[in-house]
Amino acid sequence: MRNVAIVGVGISRYGYRSDSNLAELAWEAINEALNDAGAGVEDIDTYIVGNTGVWSSEPLPAVVIGEYAGLQPKNGIRVEAACATGLAATRTGYSLIASGEADVVLVVGVEKMNESTTPQVVELIGRAGNYFWEFENFGLTFPGYYAMYATAYMKRYGATEEDLCMVAVKNHHYASLNPKAHFQKRITVEECMSSRYVAWPIKLYDSSPITDGAAALILASEDVAGKFTDSPIWIRSWGYANGTSNLSRRSDFIGFESTVVASRMAYRRAGIDPDNPVKFFDVVTVHDAFTIAEIIGMGDLGLAKRGEEYKLVREEQTYIGGLIPVNVDGGLKGKGHPIGATGVGMIVDLVKQLQQRADKGRQAPISKGMALAHNVGGTGHYVFTAVLSVDKP
C-alpha cells in the first residue's frame, strides 16, 4: 500500500447559491484545488464525486461535472454515504492511489440542497434513518433524532440548553472569520436561547442550515506528490463503522458506538493513544449537524471524558488557545452543511490549518503536526474518521 498525500485543496463559498448550477458550483472548488496544486485536468487519472443528490436536478452528477470540468473520457464515479458522503468519497480516492490503481485523483463533494424547499429537504433527510419504522410510523425527522440524544444526555449528565447554545456561539464566531462560510454573523447565548424550537430542546440556532456548496481535493501518491507541492499533507489513517438503521436496536442515546469504533480504528493505525488522543492533535473537526452532536462527538472520539464534554464547552476549552480547538472553520453549524461536500470541506480546512495558512483569527497553533476529521452520516449510521499529518507516515 502506497502513502497518499493531499497536494491541493479548494472550496466554494457556502450558502444559498442560486447563482450557480451543480456543475458550476463544483468547478468553483475544483478550479481552486487545481490552482492550489499547480495542476491541470490532464494530470488527473480519475475523479470521485461525493453527492447525495436527492434534492437536486442532476441524477448523474459525476457525468455532468466531469464534462463541465473537461475530465472526459477519464473515469468518474459518484459516492454516497448520507451526511458522511464527503469522507466516504475521499477514502474511495485514497484507496485507488494506495492500491496502485491511480497516481492522481480529484475528489469533489458538492450539493445543491436549495433546489428543493425546506419541507422537502426535512422529509428527505428524515427518510434516511429507518423509513418504514421510524419515519412512516412515528414521523421522526433528523432534528427529532438528535433531540432524543440531547434529552438523554442532558438528563444523565446535567447539561443545559445554554451549554448547547455555547457550541453555536463558538461556531458562529469562527464562521464570521471564514469568508467561505454560510453564516457571517456572530450570535450570543441569549439570541440562541430565544430562537424558536425545532424539536425540544433543539432550537433553530442549534441546527445546521440547508446549504449549497462544494469542496475539492487533489490526492497524489508518494511517488508524484513532490511534483505538485513541497508541503504535502499526508492521510495517515482511516477509521470507519456503521450503526444500526433502527434506533430501537441501540443500547443508549448518549453517544454513537460507530464513532467510537471508527475513531479507535484510526488511532490504532496512526499509533495514537486511544486513552489520550488530545495530546496528539492540534485541531479537530467534529460533525456538528446539531450542537448536541459536537458535544457527544467529543466524548465518542475520546477527546473528553463521557459526561464532561459540555464542561469543556462551558470553559471555552474548544476555542483556539484552549485544550483542543474544535470546528474552527465554523463547523456544520456556522460554515454550513452541503451534505456531499461537508467531509471534503473538513479536510480542506484541516490541510490549511496544518500548513498554517488558515484565515486570520482562525489559525490554531501547530506543534504536533496532526489533525482529525470526523464525518457522520445520519445519527451514526455511517461514520468515517481520518487522521492527517504534516509528516509522512
Q: Which of 83, 165, 374, 381 is catalytic?
A: 83
Dist CA 123 CA 27 (whole Å): 29
Cis peptide before 325 (omega within 30 of 0): no
Dist CA 117 CA 231 (whole Å): 42
Q: Which of 172, 182, 287, 337 is catalytic?
A: 337
> Helix, strand, coil: what percent of the chain each, to 5?
40, 20, 40
Residue 56 has which C-alpha cell?
437536486
Vertex 381 angle, CA 377 and 382, to 5°: 55
Dist CA 219 CA 196 (whole Å): 43
Return the half-sphere exposure (C-beta side, CA atoms, 13 A cut-off) of residue 105: 29
Please state the φ and ψ torsions of residue 336, each to the nearest 5 degrees: 120, 165
What is the pairing mode between strands 4-11 and 233-242? antiparallel
- Cβ 52 vs Cβ 111: under 8 Å: yes
374: annotated active-site residue: no
173: annotated active-site residue: no
- Cβ 335 vs Cβ 182: under 8 Å: yes
Residue 128 has which C-alpha cell?
434516511
What is the pairing mode between strands 197-199 and 202-203? antiparallel
- Cβ 201 vs Cβ 150: under 8 Å: yes
Q: Reduced to 3 states, what is the DSSP secondary structure of residue 111? A: strand
Strand order, beta sheet including 75-79: 75-79, 46-50, 104-112, 212-221, 4-11, 233-242, 382-389, 370-377, 283-285
- Cβ 391 vs Cβ 380: under 8 Å: no
Dist CA 174 CA 76 (whole Å): 34
- Cβ 176 vs Cβ 331: under 8 Å: no
Query: Of 42, 38, 33, 7, whose CA–CA distance to 214 is shortest?
Result: 33
Which residues are known catalytic residues?
83, 337
